[in-house]
Amino acid sequence: MRIAYLNGEFLPLEQARISPLDRGFLFGDGIYEVIPSYDGQFVGFAPHIARLNQGLHAIGIELNFSDEQWREICAQLCEQNGQGNLGIYIQVSRGADTSRGHAFPQGIRPTVFVFTFDIAAAPIADKQKVKGFKVISQQDLRWQRCHIKSTSLLGNVLHYQTGKDAQVDETILFNDKQELTEASSCNLFIVKDGVVITPPLDHQKLPGISRMLLLHALSYDASIKVEERAVTLQEAREADEIWLTSSSKEVAPVVELDGQPVGTGSVGDMWLKAQTLFSQHKFEL
């Protein structure tokens, strides 16, 4: 039986209930996080909670949970759900009012929901075992506030589904300048002539924690040159390697873009270095 946390209470997931007037349900008016936990060891806990707080602040939800309170809730949930490899999903919505109206209601309490789900074992740096991802590209049709980890994910869902319908694993997105933003549920890196390049953070992309952890990990190897700058779709087509980063995937190698091989069409050597460093340093921040 899965145990969840809802508004101060630990209870079986199937007994957790919220109002249909919850603004998370009616408007997607909320913020979420997904934090991996491997046998009770959280990956990037502090930066995940910092991003959650930034998101809440950005949309004007007041919730004064301390980092310690969050840690306690997540630790208890992992414990009650048998540890192992778990994804911790946190969602805070603005709460439920007595009717539906766009304006922020006064005096309602945010809804805080946390549950865990099973995830695969942590990825390992092994070229033979890793899955090579296939992706397509599509113009980014989401909104102008993609830096906020909002539960309003319809834009992302539609982009992801386009990839799924095309029988690939992800959809990478480019803006009207033909510059890559991110993928529908991951951040993006390319490698060209030994240089690792990732688009700089702005309102067009989520400040991914795995992206941050990877940049941190790569800094341990002074021989790896890293650039944060705009990357065009054409550069991606000509790249030696493309990687996706996210909490569940860590660093995932892309072997095919729009039906064409990326680089040699097999998993690259820089990926191996990158995932190796990621695995070594991912618990440090």
Q: How far is the CB of 237 from ligand PDD (least distance, A)?
A: 21
Judged by CB under 6 A, which of 95, 210, 243, 273 binds ligand PDD? Answer: 210
Place of tokens 């873009």: 257
Is residue 138 a contact residue for ligand PDD (CB under 6 A)?
no
Catalytic-residue membership of 282: no
DSSP 22: B
User: Which CB atom, from 53 or from 156, has the smaller least distance to ligand PDD?
Assistant: 156
Pairwise CA distance, residues 217 & 235, whole Å: 24
Round the CA-based radius of gyration of the chain to a whole number and report it.
Answer: 19
Judged by CB under 6 A, which of 186, 239, 270, 277 binds ligand PDD? Answer: 186
User: Which CB atom, from 22 or from 182, has the smaller least distance to ligand PDD?
Assistant: 182
Q: How many Cα atoms are found within 13 Å in the side-chain-facing hemisphere of 245?
A: 26
Q: How far is the CB of 186 from ligand PDD (least distance, A)?
A: 5
Q: Are the CB atoms for 89 and 240 separated by under 8 Å?
A: no
Q: How far is the CB of 96 from ligand PDD (least distance, A)?
A: 23
Judged by CB under 6 A, which of 93, 111, 187, 198 binds ligand PDD? Answer: 187
Q: Which residues contact 265 (CB under 8 A, 6 or more apart)?
A: 255, 256
Pairwise CA distance, residues 149 & 165, whole Å: 25
Pairwise CA distance, residues 78 & 38, whole Å: 10
Interface stretch with ligand PDD, choices 17-25, 67-75, 209-217, 273-281 (CB under 6 A): 209-217
- The one catalytic residue in 127, 129, 134, 149 is 149
Strands 133-139 and 250-257: parallel
Is residue 206 a contact residue for ligand PDD (CB under 6 A)?
yes
Interface stretch with ligand PDD, choices 23-31, 225-233, 246-254, 256-264 (CB under 6 A): 246-254
User: Which CB atom, from 108 or from 230, has the smaller least distance to ligand PDD?
Assistant: 230
Interface stretch with ligand PDD, choices 91-99, 112-120, 201-209, 272-280 (CB under 6 A): 201-209
Place of tokens 């007041």: 62
Is residue 91 a contact residue for ligand PDD (CB under 6 A)?
no
The encoded tokens of residue 6 equal 């809802």
- Distance in Å from the first CA to the final CA of the chain: 32
Q: How far is the CB of 191 from ligand PDD (least distance, A)?
A: 18
Judged by CB under 6 A, which of 81, 204, 245, 275 binds ligand PDD? Answer: 245
Is residue 148 a contact residue for ligand PDD (CB under 6 A)?
no
**Percent of residues in the chain assigned helix, strand, coil, to nearest 5:** 25, 30, 45
Sign of the Cα pseudo-torsion (121, 280, 208, 266, in order)? negative
Residues forming contacts to ligand PDD in the complex (CB under 6 A) are 34, 156, 182, 185-187, 206, 208-211, 245-248
> What amino acid positions are annotated as catalytic residues?
149
